[in-house]
């Protein structure tokens, strides 16, 4: 036997009997505020629990969110229906379809709610057939067109049992919310309990939260630990997606958190205030040309996402605007950041907060770049990966689609698959668009080959030089590129990269210069001329670099060169002298070897570094 968790929310016009119905279903009166009792109206969200058994024996635990119907509190209503599995849509038999019936229907549709049960309440007051027809008419063409309608009366008790059965059947057919290990708790209540401290509640989606776990509250970015978790009054070790969840955060103050904030695990990206979205304007607004409904470049709107509501400015390409019934891609600039994922839904209300004017879906929560194609399939992880990578050329694997409705495993599996099919290039921590990568690679190869051709005496191209020539800012991209090249026909030698087949050689015409330099370095083997004296012209510089890169000349200091041979000879003579005579000073060694201070000091420093000698006071001993 398994237990499945779902969230139901009520919806419907004011006074149509939503709260009374929740009480009849669960025994809990969701109206808890004194003001609500006094005015006999729901103002803010109320909560109750419904535990039932599915036909197959599974336990179903449904959290019910009761929302206000009054037009002044639509804002609270939206906060309650952000991540629900099923709507309990209420229409009163004596009143019929009313303005907030329509507005709530739109809100549920914009938020992507797919399932509803319609309660035709107050059936004791008549009007059943008329209102049933009206409801069917209004729901035609919406996802709720075929939703069951149940007549109820809390006065007579009619239909309550039937409604419970209908809700059970519907939930039994509903897929439980996915666990993608990216939990988000959209906070709808914050309060403090004496002796316990700050408690936040909300509907949990996307993953589980555990007692003792380190969490972060966005957008304030407050990290803290969960001391305890409850759901409908029961202590829990773990809360799962689809649960009404209360968590105790004793280290945070109530005034640090507010409705709309999100609890999540650290490391899944940050909240943002610039988003790319696909937005649609309500077709119903056709009838009305009120200025408040305008959506054009620079229009102020309110965006409702999760349990949050933020002021925003909207922008559609050039001279853009949105007509009733139209869908377009838009940029949103929010007054404060939200923690949104690709594929999240939101509702748009006008700047005076009187009307719901549209809704949309997040295409890119980090959207400051060019737009994604408007027809991109947001439920296809492959399509999203391709689009993300194509847009930027490359992406870091760990952050790729981190703010999406896919788990890390789904993303990495899809990436592997796309790699196998040759659609995305993956190397180390980078995933790149194939064309982008091919061009980058070709450019790098071109630069390496050009260096081999123009400077055959060089071991290869310096990595720093290559990186700046390619203008690669991200070191991880460059590392991946080098690794990719070295998987193929190239090799990295210290700080240079070269073609495998490249052998550094001096061009024929400067071989005489090489001869001259070798002679200069061997005439007085332990006291050769300074580098400046040797590198008298550009050709000589070229030769010196060649000899150093090939290990034939040792660079003791910037201005001190020794032939490799003489360096080795000096080294063994120093060792021999000390082992025979004991620790020696620079000047003793200089005299013994017939060298000069200019050479001896850097030589001994080098031997110290190489672990041959060790300095004790002003003497050197052997290590």
Ligand X SMILES: Nc1nc2c(ncn2[C@@H]2O[C@H](COP(=O)(O)OP(=O)(O)OP(=O)(O)O)[C@@H](O)[C@H]2O)c(=O)[nH]1
Cβ proximity to ligand X: between 40 and 500 the closer is 40
Buried residues in 297-326 as b, exposed as e (16+ CB within 10 A): bebebbbbbbbbbbebebebeeebebebee
According to CB under 6 A, which one of 4, 8, 9, 18 is a site residue for ligand X? 18
CB under 6 A: which stretch of 153-161, 239-247, 257-265, 462-470 binds ligand X? 153-161
Helix axis angle, 128-139 to 99-110, nearest 10°:
40
- Contacts (CB under 6 A) with ligand X, residues 427-486: none
Decide: helix, strand or coil at residue 79.
helix
Secondary structure (H, E, C), 540-555? HHHHHHHHHHCCCEEE
Q: Contact 232/63 with Cβ under 8 angstroms?
A: yes
Report the nearest approach of ligand X to the CB of residue 108 (Å). 15
Kindly state whether residue 155 participates in binding ligand X, applying the rule CB under 6 A.
yes
Count of residues that interact with ligand X, criterion CB under 6 A: 19
CA distance 307 to 81: 8
Cβ proximity to ligand X: between 14 and 340 the closer is 14
Positive or negative: CA dihedral 604, 610, 612, 613 = positive
Kindly state whether residue 42 participates in binding Mg ion, applying the rule CB under 5 A.
yes
**Which does residue 124 bind out of ligand X, Mg ion, none, counting CB within 5 to 8 angstroms by kind?**
ligand X
According to CB under 6 A, which one of 29, 32, 41, 429 is a site residue for ligand X? 41
- Looking from the CA of 48 toward its CB, the CA atoms found within 13 Å total 20
Kindly state whether residue 242 participates in binding ligand X, applying the rule CB under 6 A.
no
- Contacts (CB under 6 A) with ligand X, residues 65-104: 68-70
DSSP 65: E
CA distance 342 to 603: 62
CA distance 433 to 415: 12
Q: Contact 84/115 with Cβ under 8 angstroms?
A: no
According to CB under 6 A, which one of 8, 11, 20, 330 is a site residue for ligand X? 20
- Strand-pair partners of 36: none
Kindly state whether residue 124 participates in binding ligand X, applying the rule CB under 6 A.
yes
Phi-psi region of 461 (alpha: psi -120 to 50; beta: other; left: phi over 0): beta
Report the nearest approach of ligand X to the CB of residue 154 (Å). 4
Kindly state whether residue 402 participates in binding Mg ion, applying the rule CB under 5 A.
no
Cβ proximity to ligand X: between 104 and 305 the closer is 104
Closest-approach residue to ligand X (CB): 69
Q: Contact 369/390 with Cβ under 8 angstroms?
A: no
Cβ proximity to ligand X: between 17 and 528 the closer is 17
Report the nearest approach of Mg ion to the CB of residue 139 (Å). 22
Cβ proximity to Mg ion: between 29 and 449 the closer is 29
Kindly state whether residue 16 participates in binding Mg ion, applying the rule CB under 5 A.
no
Binding mask 391-410 for ligand X (x = CB under 6 A): --------------------
From residue 574, give the alpha-carbon distance in Å to each of 383, 392, 584, 585, 586: 68, 58, 9, 11, 10
Q: Name the one residue in this structure whose structure tokens are 């050197």.
A: 620
**Which does residue 122 bind out of ligand X, Mg ion, none, counting CB within 5 to 8 angstroms by kind?**
ligand X
Cβ proximity to Mg ion: between 35 and 223 the closer is 35
Kindly state whether residue 153 participates in binding ligand X, applying the rule CB under 6 A.
yes
Q: Rg of the chain's alpha carbons, rounded to an integer?
A: 37
CA distance 53 to 12: 27
Cβ proximity to Mg ion: between 49 and 612 the closer is 49
Kindly state whether residue 63 participates in binding ligand X, applying the rule CB under 6 A.
no
Strand (E) or helix (H) holding 531: helix 531-534
> Would you call 99 exposed, middle or buried from its count of C-beta atoms within 10 A (0-12, 13-18, 19+)?
exposed
**Which does residue 198 bind out of Mg ion, ligand X, none, counting CB within 5 to 8 angstroms by kind?**
none
Cβ proximity to ligand X: between 70 and 313 the closer is 70
Cβ proximity to ligand X: between 18 and 182 the closer is 18
Chain length of the chain:
623
Report the nearest approach of Mg ion to the CB of residue 126 (Å). 22
Cβ proximity to Mg ion: between 19 and 566 the closer is 19
Token reading at 24? 């009849």
Report the nearest approach of ligand X to the CB of residue 190 (Å). 22
Kindly state whether residue 272 participates in binding Mg ion, applying the rule CB under 5 A.
no
Cβ proximity to ligand X: between 33 and 140 the closer is 33
Kindly state whether residue 18 participates in binding Mg ion, applying the rule CB under 5 A.
yes
Question: Which stretches of the chain bind Mg ion, using CB under 5 A?
Answer: 18-19, 42
Question: Which stretches of the chain bind ligand X, using CB under 6 A?
Answer: 14-20, 41-42, 68-70, 121-122, 124-125, 153-155
């Amino acid at each position: 036997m398994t237990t499945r968790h779902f969230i139901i929310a009520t919806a419907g016009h004011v006074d149509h009997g939503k709260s009374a119905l929740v009480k009849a279903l669960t025994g809990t009166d969701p109206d808890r505020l004194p003001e609500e009792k006094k005015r006999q109206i729901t103002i803010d969200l109320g909560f109750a629990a419904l535990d039932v058994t599915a036909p197959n024996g599974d336990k179903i635990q449904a959290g019910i969110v009761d929302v206000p119907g009054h037009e002044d509190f639509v804002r609270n209503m939206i906060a309650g229906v952000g991540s629900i599995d099923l709507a309990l849509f209420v229409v009163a038999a004596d009143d019929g379809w009313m303005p907030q019936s329509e507005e709530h229907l739109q809100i549920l549709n914009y938020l992507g709610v797919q399932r509803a049960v319609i309660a035709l309440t107050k059936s004791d007051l008549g009007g059943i057939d008329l209102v049933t027809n009206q409801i069917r008419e209004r729901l035609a063409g919406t996802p709720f067109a075929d939703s069951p309608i149940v007549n109820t009366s809390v006065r007579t008790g009619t239909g309550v049992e039937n409604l419970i059965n209908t809700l059970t059947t519907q939930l039994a057919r509903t897929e439980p919310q996915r666990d993608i290990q990216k939990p988000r708790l959209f906070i709808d209540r914050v309060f403090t309990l004496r002796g316990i401290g700050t408690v936040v509640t909300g509907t949990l989606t996307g993953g589980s939260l555990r007692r003792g776990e380190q969490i972060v509250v966005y957008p304030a970015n407050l990290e803290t630990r969960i001391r305890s978790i409850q759901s409908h009054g029961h202590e829990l070790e773990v809360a799962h997606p689809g649960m009404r969840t209360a968590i105790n955060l004793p280290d945070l103050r109530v005034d640090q958190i507010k409705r709309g904030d999100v609890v999540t695990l650290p490391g899944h990206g940050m909240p943002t205030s610039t988003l790319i979205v696909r937005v649609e304007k309500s077709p119903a607004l056709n009838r009305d040309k009120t200025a408040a409904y305008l959506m054009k470049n620079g229009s102020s709107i309110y965006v409702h996402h999760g349990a949050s509501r933020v002021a925003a400015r909207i922008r559609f390409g050039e001279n853009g605007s949105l007509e009733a019934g139209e869908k377009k891609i838009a940029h949103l600039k929010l007054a404060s950041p939200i923690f949104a994922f690709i594929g999240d839904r939101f509702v748009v209300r006008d700047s005076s907060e009187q009307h719901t004017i549209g809704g949309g879906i997040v295409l890119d929560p980090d959207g400051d770049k060019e737009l994604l194609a408007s027809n991109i399939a947001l439920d296809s992880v492959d399509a999203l990966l391709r689009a993300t990578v194509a847009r930027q050329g490359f992406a870091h694997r760990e952050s790729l689609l981190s703010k999406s409705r896919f788990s890390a495993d789904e993303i990495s599996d899809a990436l592997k698959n796309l790699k196998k099919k040759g659609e995305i290039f993956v190397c180390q921590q980078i995933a790149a668009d194939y064309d982008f990568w091919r061009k980058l690679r070709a450019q790098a190869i071109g630069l390496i080959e050009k260096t081999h051709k123009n400077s055959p005496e060089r071991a290869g191209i310096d990595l720093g030089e290559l990186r700046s020539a390619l203008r690669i800012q991200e070191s991880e991209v460059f590392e991946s590129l080098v690794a990719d090249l070295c998987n193929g026909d190239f090799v990295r030698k210290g700080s240079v990269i070269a073609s495998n087949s490249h052998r550094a050689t001096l061009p024929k015409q400067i071989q005489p210069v090489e001869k001259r330099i070798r002679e200069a370095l061997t005439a007085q083997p332990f006291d050769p001329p300074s580098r400046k004296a040797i590198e008298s012209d550009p050709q000589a510089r070229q030769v010196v670099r060649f000899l150093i890169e090939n290990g034939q000349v040792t660079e003791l200091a910037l201005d001190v060169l020794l032939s490799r041979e003489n360096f080795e000879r000096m080294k063994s003579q120093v060792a021999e002298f000390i082992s025979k005579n004991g620790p020696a000073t620079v000047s003793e060694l200089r005299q013994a070897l017939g060298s000069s201070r200019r050479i001896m000091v850097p030589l001994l420093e080098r031997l110290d570094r190489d672990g041959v000698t060790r300095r004790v006071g002003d003497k050197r001993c052997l290590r």
